[in-house]
Structure 1
Amino acid sequence: MASSSSSSSSIDFSTAILIRVDQSGKGDFNKIQDAIESIPPNLNNSQLYFIWVKPGVYREKVVIPVDKPYITLSGTKASDTILVWSDGKVLLDSPTLTVFASDFVCRFLTIQNEFGTGAQAVAVRVAADNAAFYGCVIKSYQDTLLDGDGNHYFKNCYIEGATDFICGNASSLYEKCHLHSLSPKDGSITAQKRMSATEKSGYTFLGCKLTGSGLTYLGRPWGPYSRVVFAYSFFSNVVLPQGWNEWRDPSKQETVYYGEYKCYGPGADRKQRVKWSKQLSDDEAAVFLSKDFIGGKDWLRPAPSHFKNAPKSILSSL
């Protein structure tokens, strides 16, 4: 599948224009959003932009506009490069980071919504195709990660919340991620929103780790054809014995697709699982176990190895 923004064959993936963000004033910009706004809008962009965020706590809301594809937003390590805001009034207005542009990459950042309990408070909203997150920490309480539409990839990320904290209608592969539930009881890790049997969307969790401080379901159906698969993943005793929740709608038992494959740990015992979830066979699991599930071979790209300084026209744009 080709990128939705331009033909990837026209792009030199080894080289990016480097823009530095540093709160101390030693970078090109002091704020992340200022760096993003300096990039010229171009839906047919054939140039990679690499925004390097120096360590610090950045208190701002950040939006990647739809007309700025091929941006990488990168810290050095998530523990010391933190993007944080606090908003829980309206779901789609609440995110600390919103991604509307395709072919976006986020690396080694903590992204947090500090609003707390009592409202939908999104830390990250991904509303574009071909987005990848590596080594990120994503934290809130309710609806932490609004994993909306498109093909997405998360690797070595830590994702924390209590209620439906990974939700939306994307086709996403979570590889070697750590999911941590804050729910005291009856929370849900996922609320996937697939609306029909013909949609390709769904969430696969491959080689992940599930921990928490209370009790949680693996998922409940936001959409009637909700599809979630956990494979080769460790379940601590935070996972409720039933495993999955119908969200007060028994009719969804007939249409959801909830599967487990070769998971282990005290929460992986399927003796008391709801009968409408699946213990997948090798053949049933195969489609979920590689990057083919998200068409990743066509759009996932390596980190650039060469960098060019940003043109003066960009640095003097604000």
Structure 2
Amino acid sequence: MAATALRCLPMVAVVVLSLLLAGAAGAQLSSRFYDRKCPKLQSIVWSATAQAVATEPRMGASILRLFFHDCFVNGCDASILLDDTATFTGEKNAGPNANSVRGYDVIDAIKAQVEAACSGTVSCADIVALAARDSVNLLGGPTWTVQLGRRDALNASQSAANANLPGPGSSLDTLIAMFGDKGLSPRDMTALSGAHTIGQARCVTFRDRIYDDTNINATFAALRQQTCPQQSGGDGDGALAPIDVTTPDAFDNAYYENLASRQGLFHSDQELYSGGSQDVLVRVYRRNAGIFATDFAKAMVRMGNLMPSADTPTEIRLDCKKIN
């Protein structure tokens, strides 16, 4: 199916999911956790996120990425928001995060508004989870019920971020294994990879793909080479390109059409459609925007359920950048 036709498919606007959580985490999280303690929370987050995305659509992708990169390191505990201290080196400058994760200022601004409404009540981790959901929906994607009640970590680990986050050169086997380590299935992984239907990437992250890969559309490679020089170093490393060449600011299923046309920007993207186990699912998502939207929302709920270990000390931070 042509990309133009795909853009005409109706994306499921609302996918409301209320999944029961298992184990200890299930006893702690609830969609109504703040109903009495901070009843205006969700409207505050929505309004602030909407303002940020209206100012810069790319920010929606950045906040979504922030949530991914937080949850994949010791669970969804807002550890990624912590600045370095004398006692720990945090996650902000880890290899997968430095110069690619952004939106910290947006979360800080939302936190300030939430603190003004209900001081010392809402965790930074829950604010990130809500803002990620709202970012997707504001850009045309699905929505879902966010389970709430997370708490914030008292430390962060750069080494854990370097070890737990898959990179743009990852193989399919590596992706399946790394998501599997988090209790996420290959189907979850392929749906969550659809987050790359929005956002931009720096040349340094996809240079090898457009100059060295063979499983790539030649015209697409030439297009990206126009702004991403083969020689590393200098300003070229930071040159931005849309991850989804078709509809970069719309949360839709065009990402999977790109993969079928060998126009995945990252090697790790194209690995989902390279004669392997996920080819069939990519074709399903390519044909059916509704199935993708539903699977993405379900997978986001599952990823949002990733919790720190039971013995991890936590708190409700008053300032997302530092412990109380």
TM over 0.5: no
Which structure shows the bigger proportion of residues in strand conformation?
Answer: 1
Q: Which band: TM-score by shorter chain?
A: under 0.3
Which structure shows the bigger proportion of residues in helix conformation?
Answer: 2
TM-score by length of 2: 0.27
